[in-house]
Amino acid sequence: PPGTGKTQVSATIVYHLIHMHPKSQVLVCAPSNVAVDHLCEKVAKTGLNVVRVVAKSREGIESSTDKYALHNLVREFCNSAHRFSELNKLFKLRDTTGMLNESDKRRFAKLCGEVERLILEEADVVCATCVSVADNRLANYRFKFCLIDECTHAQEPECIIPLVTGVKQAILVGDHCQMRPVVLSKAADEAGLG
C-alpha cells in the first residue's frame, strides 16, 4: 500500500544492481512523469550517476529533477568542455534570436547528439517514462536491467516498450490494489487494457 516503502526498496535494488554489475546500466521507468521524477530523486540520493531523459515536449516544464535532466546536463557540459564551444555558441544564438537557420540547426542537432551520448554513456542509471524509452536518444542503448515502478498503474503495452531494449532482467514494482491504468479509450478498456 502507499507509504510502505516501495520506492525506497526500488532505489535500493537499483543501487545494488549497479554495485553488483559495475559495467551495466539500469533503466528505471514508470508510466507517469511524477512517478519517474520521484524515483529519480530517490536513486540519486544513493550517490549513483542518474540521468533523467525527458520528452522533448516537456523540456520547458520545470521539474524537481531538472538537475538530472539530459537537456540541462548537455548545456552544463558544453559550458565546461572547450571542444564543444561551438555548441555553446549555438545555444546562445538560439536563446537570443529564438531560432537557428537550417545549417545551424543541423550542426546543433549533431553536436547535441554527441554530448547526449557522452552523458548517457557515463550514467549508471537512466530514468524515463515507459513511453519515453522509445525516444531516438535512447535508440542505440541496450540495458541489461530494467526496473518499472508503478507497473500496475501502466497499461501492458506501455510496459513492453522498455522491455524490448535488450533487457535481461526486469523488476516490476507496484501495488495491484492501488489505482488501475488510466485508459481514455472505451474500446481499449473493453479489450482488457484497463
Q: Which of 122, 118, 125, 120 lies closest to 46, judged by CA?
A: 125
H/E stretch holding 50: strand 50-52
pTM: 0.86
Residue at grid coordinates 540495458: 143
Contact 37, 129 (CB under 8 A): no
Q: Which of 125, 150, 146 lies closest to 35, judged by CA?
A: 150
Summarize pLDDT for 113-128 with one digit per residue, the tens: 888 999 999 999 999 9
| Nine-digit cell string for 194 | 484497463
Separation CA 48–CA 125 (nearest Å): 7
Summarize pLDDT for 73-84 with one digit per residue, the tens: 988 887 776 677
